[in-house]
Amino acid sequence: MAIRKSLLGSAPGLALLALSSVVLAQTDPGVRPGAINGQSGATTTSPLPLASVTSNTPQGVSEFFQNGLGRFQEVESVSGGANNGLGPRFNFNSCSGCHAQPTIGGSGLPTNPQATILTSVGGNPPIASSSTNTVPSFITTNGPTREARFPFFFNANGTGVNTSAPNGGVEDLFTVSGRADAGSCSLTQPSFAFAQSVNDVIFRIPTPVFGAGLLENLDDSTLLANQAAQQNNGLGISGTFNHNGNDGTIARFGWKAQNKSLELFAGEAYNVEMGITNEIFQNERPLPGEDEPSPGNTPAGLPSNCLNLSGNGYPEDATNFAPSVANSDTFAQNAQIPSDVVQFALFMRLLAPPIPSTTVPGGAAAISTGKSLFSSIGCAVCHAPTLGTTQASNITSSLGSATVSPFSDLEIHQMGNGLADNVSQGGAGGGQFRTAPLWGLGQRVFFLHDGRTTNLLTAITDHASSGSEATEVIENFEDLSTSQQQDILDFLRSL
Amino acid sequence: MRSARSRIYLLLVGFFVSSAAGAQGSVPQQGPVLQKVPENVILVKGAWSSASDNVTPLPEGGKVSTDSYNSPYFGLTLPLPAGWIQKYEGPPPSDSGYYVLAQLRPADPTPGQGGGRPRDHARGTLLIAAQDMFFTTTHATGPLELINYTRDHLQADYRIERPPSNITIAGRDFVRFGYVSPVAGLHWTFFATQIRCHVVEFIFTSADTQLLENLARNLGGLKSQPEIDASEPVCIKGYASAENILERVDPVFSERKYNQVPVRVIIDREGKVKHIHFLSAFPTQSQAISAALSQWRFKPYLRNGQPVEVETGMLFGHVPQGAL
């Protein structure tokens, strides 16, 4: 790609570029049109659950799924609304606001709702108040929905970063200060502009959760068997697993596979991304470091006028001992009882994985060839087309004895200094990332952990850098012909 | 950081830094220089490799120069084909004992010679990798078994062109193995040889079979040490077993982590640990293990009645099935 840039700077280069423009034709076909998630009947607000959930086996699972889907879309307020507890710090005010592409449960939309956080949208008051909030420069209308983290703490004397003090926790973008329902709570946003000036900010985009229940129901032994089969692959690849610290088993969710279960995933996101405490994370979350001592600073945590803003006490999301809305359908009535976090997890667990298209884009031959090439050049060593079979399920039959095709080994791999973000999570270091599942890739907009590109070709070539396990495979990709590379792009967009 | 005064100070500092941004080197900076996070550097490493000294050669310590790959640990020098470079270094050693020693490929064509990769430009890769046989989970004990493992686990996309067979190149015994992806038109050729408790693999990949033959011929220029070198420690798998350990202290870990920690040690003639190499360890783990190993005493290993140094491997931490 560097060669193309230097060509443009010279007249003969431009002539050559014009001549060669016919040859340099491999292009990302873009977001695949057609059926949402490749599923007939899915809409942008109605993702499909697994088949046995649609057939309501066991009885009631369908009502619970619908309830979870509904809660996933709830708009949270600080107080006085239907769903309270937002803040005092947050990245957005609903799960589905960030997890929406191509449908609820997915990744970020092409138009970022965080960019209009200060304006009135659809007749609603602004989600954040412009009296105390500004939109950080890295949140743009057509850019990725994202959260931000500072890999390192700053020096207290304002001299920049302290690279001996790793941080890496989420720095929520906005505060509730100035909202009519937030009382007198007054907090300032993190110092995003300063962090950018000292190269101390990284981003993460939402991970899609389609098929997550299948990933959850793979036994560790299945993942280990797949890892064993990849030994001595001749491509320089040798990954490992992240483990959770509670029971030592393989963790598998999140960009660094740091989260063990969907329940944890939901609870953490509810508290960290929206500030809604729950039965897994019961305490309001200050910014990283705000509750730790530092020289000359006695930590005080959050000020008391920013606590219990909902007025309902803690945790803000809790089990409902009785359903609040009568419903003649007993199961729909029962589904109101679990807390939001339990229902979020169940919703994610019951989502059907995306169905690949066999013809779009590029046609059946291109997709089939692309799939073979994808495996042949070595992509499949990490992006495993089939990972294994799930165990029997105690929840619903579609989760049991199912072949899982996520295009991921769920291992963490060294991805080099080009992708490293200097954030360690569990056993994953700053340069390690979970192999991102590629199922559903075709209808995603932004790629890689920080959404740095919308161009699939760039996402592929960014896998190669100093220290990456993927370099040899990317070399193989770049040694393919243009039409072979196009077949791979077509195949990936068919997923 | 929270007070208005410090925010104004920071804004001013930020202004000075941004206005001085274009003036590095020859023009003095106008304001205080802020400490920034360096670009393209992994500082927060997680589990990584380290050693007790920086003198003893390490398996990953080889270097690529303009015309050769040279490894003091493996005692080998491979001349590179003309114009071949290492564009990117490989990853650190893995916790299953796998190394990427060098990733070599033809240099990109110089600008002006055509956009992208012209079809007549040489395309292919030369991967030099090594598997520490103390830590492989494949149950292989040498090059043929390791190559057979790869052959037995080949995906359906490949067709074997040359089954594993023995061949002598540059005075060394190699196992050669080749397969092709008919769809991609890419050929792989492995040349695997045993060097000091490792299987070292030279893996050539290309669509151009002539290039592959040239690379194989180039391998004939490999300079390596003979199988038994009196100056090197003797490699003994499993030396750290009960009958050889006279004194031991278990490491005290400050926290439970779940990674496996492969460790290479060199034991001196008196049975003390003289060199420790962590293939993959968190800093707290390498500190705890180093502190413990400094108190171990082994039975010295005798060869022809004389005590000699021993190189062996030990696995700490989470141990999956199939490992040592």
Q: What is the least distance, in Å, from the CA of B52 to any CA of chain A? A: 21
* Interacting residues of A102 by C-beta distance below 8 A, sequence separation 6+: A31, A36, A37, A44, A440, A443, A444
Which residues does chain B have within 8 Å of residue A159's beta carbon, measured at their own beta carbons? 32, 34-35
What confidence score (pLDDT) does residue B32 get? 73
Q: What is the least distance, in Å, from the CA of A15 to any CA of chain B? A: 10
The gap between the terminal CA atoms of chain B, to the nearest Å, is 52
Amino acid making up residue A405 = S
* Distances A69 to A74, A280, A455, B14 between C-alpha atoms, Å: 9, 20, 30, 45
Compare all CA atoms of chain B with the CA of A463 and give the residue at the minimum distance: B88
Q: What is the pLDDT of residues A49-87, one digit of tens each?
A: 999 999 999 999 999 999 999 999 999 999 999 999 999
Q: Judge whether A270 and A347 are in contact, CB under 8 Å.
A: no
Compare all CA atoms of chain B with the CA of A246 and give the residue at the minimum distance: B256
Residue A114, helix vs strand vs coil: helix
Compare all CA atoms of chain A with the CA of B259 and give the residue at the minimum distance: A427
Distance CA A379, CA A455 (A): 18
Which residues does chain A have within 8 Å of residue B203's beta carbon, measured at their own beta carbons? 234
What confidence score (pLDDT) does residue B111 get? 60
Contact A376 B181 (CB under 8 A): yes
The separation between CA A96 and the C-alpha centre of its own chain, rounded to angstroms, equals: 12
Would you say residue B235 has pLDDT above 90? yes
The separation between CA B113 and the C-alpha centre of its own chain, rounded to angstroms, equals: 35
Q: What angle do CA A193, A198, A203 make, to 5 degrees?
A: 65
Q: What is the least distance, in Å, from the CA of B302 to any CA of chain A? A: 34
Per the model's pLDDT, the better-predicted residue between B6 and B269 turns out to be B269
What confidence score (pLDDT) does residue B225 get? 84
Average pLDDT over every residue of B45-72: 96
DSSP state, residue A43? B
Which residues does chain B have within 8 Å of residue A411's beta carbon, measured at their own beta carbons? none
Which residues does chain A have within 8 Å of residue B41's beta carbon, measured at their own beta carbons? 417
Give the residue carrying structure tokens 């039409």: A483
Residue from A197, A232, A241 whose CB has the most chain B CBs within 10 Å, to mutate: A232
What phi and psi values does residue A127 have, to the nearest 5 degrees?
-70, -35
Dmax over Cα atoms in chain B, in whole Å? 78
Compare all CA atoms of chain A with the CA of B182 and give the residue at the minimum distance: A376
Minimal Cβ distance to A198: which of B35, B96, B186: B35
Would you say residue B323 has pLDDT above 80? no
Minimal Cβ distance to B10: which of A166, A191, A465: A191
Residue from B18, B29, B45 whose CB has the most chain A CBs within 10 Å, to mutate: B45
Is the Cβ of A222 closer than 8 Å to some Cβ of chain B?
Answer: no
Give percent above pLDDT 90 in chain B. 77
Is the Cβ of A33 closer than 8 Å to some Cβ of chain B?
Answer: no
Q: What is the least distance, in Å, from the CA of B35 to any CA of chain A? A: 4
Distance CA A228, CA A384 (A): 13
Which residues does chain A have within 8 Å of residue B13's beta carbon, measured at their own beta carbons? 158
Per the model's pLDDT, the better-predicted residue between B80 and B232 turns out to be B80
Which residues does chain A have within 8 Å of residue B34's beta carbon, measured at their own beta carbons? 159-160, 197-198
The separation between CA A434 and the C-alpha centre of its own chain, rounded to angstroms, equals: 12
* Interacting residues of A249 by C-beta distance below 8 A, sequence separation 6+: A220, A243, A260
Q: What is the pLDDT of residues B104-126, one digit of tens each?
A: 999 987 665 444 555 556 799 99
What confidence score (pLDDT) does residue A9 get? 47
Closest CA to A132 of A176, A91, A67: A176
Is the Cβ of A10 closer than 8 Å to some Cβ of chain B?
Answer: yes
For helices A482-494 and A364-376, give the axis angle rounded to 10 degrees.
100
Give the 3-state secondary structure percentages of chain B, helix then strand then coil, rounded to 5: 15, 35, 50
What confidence tier does B317 reach under pLDDT thresholds 50, 70, 90? confident
Pairing of strands B76-79, B301-303: unpaired
* Distances B105 to A283, B187, B228 between C-alpha atoms, Å: 54, 15, 32
Size of interface A-B (CB pairs under 8 A): 237
Contact B44 A369 (CB under 8 A): no
What confidence score (pLDDT) does residue A291 get? 82
* Interacting residues of A157 by C-beta distance below 8 A, sequence separation 6+: none
Contact B115 A376 (CB under 8 A): no
Residue from A297, A411, A479, A491 whose CB has the most chain B CBs within 10 Å, to mutate: A479
Structure tokens at B130: 């090594």
Compare all CA atoms of chain A with the CA of B323 and give the residue at the minimum distance: A228
Contact A24 B181 (CB under 8 A): no
pTM of the shown model = 0.91
Q: What is the least distance, in Å, from the CA of A462 to any CA of chain B? A: 12
Residue from B117, B157, B202 whose CB has the most chain A CBs within 10 Å, to mutate: B157
Name the A residues in 292-321 with CB < 8 Å from any B CB: none
Is the Cβ of A134 closer than 8 Å to some Cβ of chain B?
Answer: no
Contact A245 B96 (CB under 8 A): no
Minimal Cβ distance to A414: which of B38, B91, B183: B91
Q: Which residues of chain A have pLDDT under 50?
A: 1-9, 13, 16-23
What confidence score (pLDDT) does residue A24 get? 58
Pairing of strands A412-414, A174-175: unpaired
Which residues does chain A have within 8 Å of residue B37's beta carbon, measured at their own beta carbons? 151-152, 161, 163, 198-200, 422
Distance CA A426, CA A245 (A): 8
Hey, where are the domains in chain A?
30-38+208-260+352-494
Q: What is the least distance, in Å, from the CA of B319 to any CA of chain A? A: 12
Would you say residue B9 has pLDDT above 80? no
Q: What is the least distance, in Å, from the CA of B28 to any CA of chain A? A: 18
Is the Cβ of A225 closer than 8 Å to some Cβ of chain B?
Answer: no
Amino acid making up residue B148 = N
Is residue A461 exposed (0-12), middle (13-18) or buried (19+ Cβ within 10 Å)?
middle
